[in-house]
Structure 1
Amino acid sequence: MVLLQKSRGVPRRRAAGVTLIELIVVVGIVALLATVAVPSYRQYTMRAHRTEAKAALLRLAANQERFYLQNNRYSLDPDVLGFVGGLSEQGVYTLAIDTAAGVTQDWIAAATPTPGGGSNGTDQTADTECTSFTLTSAGVRTATPLPNGVNGRCW
């Protein structure tokens, strides 16, 4: 018969827990992942909010054609075409319309980021890849800065 000996009545176990070195390693890994993920997420959200400019310009083109059918001319006022204050739906982009090189029957519309952002808290002024978008009455789509804007990743 084997007798188990107890040290002072309570068997001792090794203390379980996390060492300081293990904690520092985990915090370092989380910090490394955050430095990679945050800029990628920011770029993703900028690309997603560009759709507001593109949708506004396409809606403006449709409204221009409707206005032309009724008035036999194009409008240079975004307010007349349904864009209150010349802003896109959430106010992230400001719209401007001009005539194409002095030709009164053609137009060029531009969408540029609104300084301070829109009503949804989005500020696209930091988007350096696709700063502004343009659409002509002929359907030509461009974005600045070039060359990425011409039928590139912007449109």
Structure 2
Amino acid sequence: MHDRAFSLLELLVAVAILVIVVSVAVPVYTAYSLRAHRVNAQADLFRCAQGLERHATESRSYAMAVDTDGDGVGDASTGPVSANLCTVAAGAYEISLHAATAADFVLRATPRGDGAAAAEGVVELDSTGVRRWDRNGDGDFDDADERRWTD
């Protein structure tokens, strides 16, 4: 018998400890990652709201702020935001402008595809600063806890 080798029992204990650590770490990391994606989308919404404010200062309206043909001139009031408004950093979300009029706007961050971020729901910011988060993914913001971005 060798004194320097691991016994089978010691190896099983080490593997069991590793399994316990991984079973705790993976869900925690996944939740952290999803929250980070949502926070990035919220930062993008603020950045795009600033871009819309600049647009409204120049044109006296939030309407026609989306550049759909890529020529640098706003030609639509709804659609994905473009570089003429803001730079979008959140790759897991698509930032779009909804219901832009002369007096107000609604920016929406929608999770892309069927990835893990899709379970996080849609996040919105409007021109009055109201923040909405469709936590349960039911397609509306009517629930009491959906009028804020915090958990």
TM-score (norm. length: structure 1): 0.71
Letter in 2 for 1:111: A
The question of 1:44 aligning with 2:32 is answered yes
In 2, Cα distance between equivalents of 1:15 and 1:108? 71
Gaps of 5+ in 2: 67-80, 136-142
In 2, Cα distance between equivalents of 1:15 and 1:91? 54
Identity among equivalent pairs (%): 30
The question of 1:97 aligning with 2:97 is answered yes
Q: Secondary structure at the match of 2:99?
A: strand
Q: Which residue in 2 is equivalent to 1:15?
A: 2
What is the alpha-carbon root mean square deviation over aligned residues?
2.3
Q: Secondary structure at the match of 2:37?
A: helix
Following TM superposition, the consecutive aligned residue runs of length 4 or more in structure 1 with deviations greater than 3 angstroms are: 146-149
Gaps of 5+ in 1: 1-13, 118-122
Q: Which residue in 2 is equivalent to 1:136?
A: 126
Kindly state the Cα deviation for residue 28 of structure 1 after the two structures are TM-superposed.
1.1
Q: Which structure has the larger Rg over C-alpha atoms? A: 1
- Do the aligned partners of 1:99 and 1:105 also contact (CA within 8 Å) in 2? no
How many residues are aligned here? 127
In 2, Cα distance between equivalents of 1:152 and 1:132? 11
| Alignment partner of 1:55 out of 35, 38, 43 | 43
TM-score (norm. length: structure 2): 0.72
Kindly state the Cα deviation for residue 90 of structure 1 after the two structures are TM-superposed.
4.4
Letter in 1 for 2:112: T
